[in-house]
Structure 1
Amino acid sequence: MNKLSTGEKVALGLAKRHRAEKRFRWYGLASIAFGLLCLLVLFTDIISKGAGAFVAHYIKVDVTYSGQRLGIKNVDDPMQMALADYQGLINDYLMQTFPEVSQRRDKFELYQLASSGAGFELQALLQEQPEWLGKTQTLWVLADDDVDLYLKYFRNKDGSRLTAQQKGWVEQLVSNGAIDQRFNRALFSHGDSREPEMAGIKGAFMGSLLTLLVTLVLSFPVGVAAAVYLEEYAPKNRWTDFIEININNLAAVPSIIYGLLGLAVFINFLGMPRSIPLVGGLVLTLMTLPTVIISSRAAIKTVPPSIREAALGLGASKMQVIMHHVLPLALPGMLTGAIIGMAQALGETAPLLMIGMVAFIADIPHSLTDPATVLPVQIFLWADSPERAFTERTSAAIMVLLAFLMVMNALAVLLRRHLQRRW
């Protein structure tokens, strides 16, 4: 039996290592492909379910703003404007369109074709155009969610909640050109609603913006100041080591713990109101601060020591070195960390649930102390709703939230590339 030479043994071992490296590379490519496939399946599922929410079916109605029918004598009287039966104008038009309907039960089914919240749209239009009182206007009002779902998905198959009689009325309106599919402006102009066709994300979107505004205003300056102190001023001893360890530990604390802290401190101890952007921003500030501090410290460390030494050699003070040289050069990394922290805060739900931002909020918030909710919580509420039409709204809200997160991450990358300097 011939023994292998040293060169042959090395060649066999080298070939074996090369085969192992190829297998490892293929394993990595397969893992990446599997992850991308899962992401593609997730996005396809969300988009397929939520794309329909961006369009809705509208019914064309000829509405006569009769002062006698509405009980309005003076359009400047807010009480008369608020108590008027605007929904009755839509019902009157439907009865004129289908005069053969006479039974009480049939009338009730006919009135259900239009959204029960369409009357509020008529009220808003009359408030904007008070000269319409006493005149007839051709308007497009939202159809009921069951009508919308029937025309989108169940027209040629079972599953619709409409009765056979209602389907016949809908088909007659379609053939007359009185129902049309249009961009769903209510999704972006309305707040939350019990009626799916009237529900929108504007209230949650504004709540998210106000909450993030508080978080950014508090977390960025405090985080940068803490990072500057720890890197430039703090002595290296056991106390600073203890602070650094706890900052790193706080970055890994579950977000719901910050919600419990906010509930105990801001609401129970300080007595601040529940479900307002100010408290939500304070809670998210506590959660985001460790991320901002860690990223800011990393950015400060990337500034070469030679720049500090050169500035000190030219007679600059410690503060001047930091303000005029270190911070401007570290700013790209700091901004990147802050934006990533804001993106993390935007997607948080658990801490905000603990402070009561899970309440049903129909009005659009306009200040930091108005009751509000945020996009992730709105998605949580809609996902738990039994109404079938809320499935579309849930997926559409997820799409908007993902788009917002992508924009924020892209902004972080662009800022870093635009402002970053190389030495």
Structure 2
Amino acid sequence: MTESNPSPHRSAPVDHSATIKASLKRRYRAERRFRWYGRAAIAFGLAAVLVLFVDIISKGHGAFKTTHIAVPIHYDLDSLGIDSINDNQQLALANWDALFKSGMRQLLPEASGRSQRRELYRLISNGAGYDLKDRLQANPQLVGQRERIWLLADDDIDTYFKSLRDGEPYTARVSDQQIAWIDQLYASGDIATRWNRNFFTRGDSREPEQAGIWGAVMGSLFTLVITFALSFPIGVAAAIYLEEFAPRNRFTDFIEININNLAAVPSIIFGLLGLAIFINFFQVPRSIPLLGGLVLTLMTLPTIIITSRAAIKAVPPSIREAALGMGASKHQMVLHHVLPLAMPGMLTGAIIGMAQALGETAPLLMIGMVAFIVDIPGGFSDPATVLPVQIFLWADSPERAFVEKTSAAIMVLLAFLIAMNTTAVWIRKRLERRW
């Protein structure tokens, strides 16, 4: 037999290993770059949040302390111009400012002349007289007695004294004479920063040193109570009906699409809706927690319905089949088996919706909750404002002392939001079941 020769047209096998290795290297480099892009994005986000928090805390921490001046007070009825502290009419007309003015003249006797004394009296907040009135009414045994009491300093003095201690004195709104008196008081230990209890116990005020957040906190509380009492049962009931009982047709599809769309509608639109329906049509008074709760209910309902439906869908079909197989009706199956298992997810969605409502400002501005409210609200029908609107009002105020008040109120609001979201995560981790 003759040996066959290989065909002259057949080429030798090509080695593609180098090409494959190069391609794999490009893929690996692309994956590493993608991971680094993700890490850089996370780092940038964390850095932005850190800068925000540092800026807010650096501006707002000073609001938790305020400047006080130790003033000798003589509770003399003759100085007040009254005969008895049991007569409410006399108390209302009494010259309460005379008490601290007399004490300031005793504290700094070198102040002479009307102009110097006016500057001297401006070291103390103009609400000090009311504080002395409240103290004397609460302690009538102080009549005729003397005591050294720490009185709230004026906001300009507070700003200067705090900036002085920080090494950058702000002297724009204090006179040279007042600066000299402050130095003298500091040397004698009669001026100091103390815990600002008024910030947590009082309502709003035109004077920064007297302003507090308690009125806004109570307004937010009453508003959220109304919002939760209405939105949670309505949202859960709507989710149960749409997920378990509603027929699948074009009408229910139309409802579901609109619920999803409402979740993305700007919040100010709900404010306009509340203005048109609740105020103009139903004549609900402006700036009350009841009205704010109704408007925020409309805003949070889509969120609660969507999260509640997701929680119901997460319940395995075997639970439903087992309940029906044991003879339970569909109504019993939903109430006794599906709803308890879906409740953790529903509560989580409700808390997230409440946190969203707590931070809303635009819809409440449209219904008049931007009013200046001094008194602490005592119920759902009392005039009130909420914490985000209070922050908005303070941020628009010209006084420099309101800057730290604004930042401190933001810190309080962030603390509430973080607490609510942490609670939602804890409920989900604590009560959820894995199937």
Q: The residue matched to 1:41 in structure 2 has which SS? A: helix
State how far apart, in whole Å, the 2-side matches of 1:157 and 1:298 are: 55
State how far apart, in whole Å, the 2-side matches of 1:258 and 1:238 are: 26
TM superposition shift of 1:158: 5.2
The answer as to whether partners of 2:72 and 2:104 remain within 8 angstroms in 1 is no
Residue in 2 aligned with 1:144? 154
Residue in 2 aligned with 1:176? 188
Q: The residue matched to 2:105 in structure 1 has which SS? A: helix
Residue in 2 aligned with 1:60? 70
State how far apart, in whole Å, the 1-side matches of 2:270 and 2:218 are: 22
Residue in 1 aligned with 2:30? 20
Residue in 2 aligned with 1:111? 121
Amino acid at match of 1:239: F
State how far apart, in whole Å, the 2-side matches of 1:374 and 1:325 are: 39
Amino acid at match of 1:14: L
Normalised TM-score (structure 1): 0.97
Amino acid at match of 1:416: R
State how far apart, in whole Å, the 2-side matches of 1:241 and 1:417 are: 32
Residue in 2 aligned with 1:80? 90
Residue in 1 aligned with 2:174? 162
Does 1:185 find its partner at 2:197? yes
Residue in 2 aligned with 1:363? 375
Residue in 2 aligned with 1:299? 311
Does 1:374 find its partner at 2:383? no
Question: 5 Å matches for 1:6-405?
Answer: 6-154=16-164, 157=168, 159-160=170-171, 161-405=173-417
Amino acid at match of 2:275: L
State how far apart, in whole Å, the 1-side matches of 2:49 and 2:219 are: 28
Structure 2 runs not aligned, ≥5 long: 1-11
Amino acid at match of 2:162: K
Residue in 1 aligned with 2:6? none
Structure 1 range deviating more: 298-307 or 56-65: 56-65
State how far apart, in whole Å, the 1-side matches of 2:44 and 2:352 are: 26
TM superposition shift of 1:314: 1.2
Does 1:406 find its partner at 2:421? no
Q: The residue matched to 2:192 in structure 1 has which SS? A: strand
State how far apart, in whole Å, the 1-side matches of 2:277 and 2:364 are: 14
Q: Give me the CA root mean square deviation.
A: 1.4
Q: The residue matched to 2:189 in structure 1 has which SS? A: coil
State how far apart, in whole Å, the 2-side matches of 1:86 and 1:336 are: 52
Q: C-alpha offsets along residues 165-220 of structure 1, whole Å, 9 cap, x if unaligned?
A: 10111111111111121111111111111111111111111111111111011000
State how far apart, in whole Å, the 2-side matches of 1:137 and 1:194 are: 29
Residue in 1 aligned with 2:4? none
State how far apart, in whole Å, the 2-side matches of 1:359 and 1:4 are: 82
TM superposition shift of 1:157: 4.5
State how far apart, in whole Å, the 1-side matches of 2:137 and 2:301 are: 46
State how far apart, in whole Å, the 2-side matches of 1:34 and 1:315 are: 57
Q: C-alpha offsets along residues 94-151 of structure 1, whole Å, 9 cap, x if unaligned?
A: 0112222221111110000011111121122122222222322322111111111111
Amino acid at match of 1:346: L
Normalised TM-score (structure 2): 0.94
Q: The residue matched to 1:153 in structure 2 has which SS? A: helix
State how far apart, in whole Å, the 2-side matches of 1:325 and 1:157 are: 65
Q: The residue matched to 1:360 in structure 2 has which SS? A: coil
- Going from structure 1 to structure 2, the CA distance change for 1:167 and 1:241 (only over 3 Å counts) comes to same
Q: The residue matched to 1:43 in structure 2 has which SS? A: helix
Amino acid at match of 1:89: L
- Going from structure 1 to structure 2, the CA distance change for 1:4 and 1:367 (only over 3 Å counts) comes to farther
State how far apart, in whole Å, the 2-side matches of 1:317 and 1:119 are: 70
State how far apart, in whole Å, the 2-side matches of 1:72 and 1:272 are: 44
Q: C-alpha offsets along residues 381-402 of structure 1, whole Å, 9 cap, x if unaligned?
A: 1111110000000000000000
The answer as to whether partners of 2:160 and 2:169 remain within 8 angstroms in 1 is no
Aligned length: 422
- Going from structure 1 to structure 2, the CA distance change for 1:315 and 1:176 (only over 3 Å counts) comes to same
State how far apart, in whole Å, the 1-side matches of 2:325 and 2:363 are: 49
Amino acid at match of 1:213: V
Q: The residue matched to 2:265 in structure 1 has which SS? A: coil
State how far apart, in whole Å, the 1-side matches of 2:88 and 2:321 are: 70
TM superposition shift of 1:61: 1.6
Q: C-alpha offsets along residues 326-349 of structure 1, whole Å, 9 cap, x if unaligned?
A: 111001100110000000000000
Structure 1 range deviating more: 115-124 or 397-406: 115-124
Amino acid at match of 1:134: G
Amino acid at match of 2:338: V
Amino acid at match of 1:275: S
Q: The residue matched to 2:193 in structure 1 has which SS? A: strand
Amino acid at match of 1:302: A
State how far apart, in whole Å, the 2-side matches of 1:200 and 1:30 are: 41
State how far apart, in whole Å, the 2-side matches of 1:304 and 1:191 are: 50
State how far apart, in whole Å, the 2-side matches of 1:141 and 1:319 are: 65
The answer as to whether partners of 2:279 and 2:285 remain within 8 angstroms in 1 is yes
TM superposition shift of 1:3: 9.8
State how far apart, in whole Å, the 2-side matches of 1:4 and 1:187 are: 81
Structure 1 range deviating more: 144-153 or 41-50: 144-153
TM superposition shift of 1:71: 3.0
State how far apart, in whole Å, the 2-side matches of 1:63 and 1:4 are: 103
State how far apart, in whole Å, the 1-side matches of 2:207 and 2:39 are: 47
Structure 1 range deviating more: 268-277 or 81-90: 81-90
